[in-house]
Amino acid sequence: MATFTLKIITPERVVYDAQVDKVSAVAIDGELTILPGHEPLVTPLAVDVLRFSLHGEESHAAVIGGIMAVNEGSVEILSDVAELDHEIDEARAHQARERAEAEKTQRNENLDVYVTEMALSRAVTRLKAAEMAKVRRKARQH
């Protein structure tokens, strides 16, 4: 099967740079899947889990928004924050979710609702990616 290069890049590092045969992402206007030979496009991404695979072996990354650019032979994800599923610290993500949920329930005029919602969204996305990795590992064991 044909492949293409997937690069996930943040300001701090190249998170991923390898061949894949499929990428599924959630753009701000819906989910899309990129296969070899896809038409070029640029789309803003939602805060969600990016799924990618090579020869049926699926991997995941928590992508906290950004831009996806599809070109001939490559897909580049540019994001402020992205983590591969096996890099996610689940305990820290659970704590972040709990903090954000607690802040949402507080009545505080100084509370920036948008910042709180983004923190909650980031934590939930990280936990979702980590859970997908657990499911993948269990399936390999059986």
Inform me whether the pLDDT recorded for 1 exceeds 90. Answer: no
> Exposed e or buried b for every residue in 13-23, given b needs 16+ CB within 10 A?
eebbeeebbbb
What's the CA gap between 94 and 113, in Å, rounded? Answer: 19
Residue 105, phi then psi, degrees to nearest 5: -85, -15
What is the arithmetic mean of pLDDT over 35-44? 96
pLDDT digits (tens, 9 = 90+) for 82-135: 999 887 676 776 676 677 777 666 655 555 666 666 676 777 777 777 777 767
What is the arithmetic mean of pLDDT over 39-58? 93
pLDDT band at 75 (very low <50, low <70, confident <90, very high): very high
Amino acid identity, position 77: I
Residue 119, phi then psi, degrees to nearest 5: -60, -40
Q: Which domains does the chain have, with CATH numbers?
A: 4-85 (2.60.15.10), 88-141 (1.20.5.440)
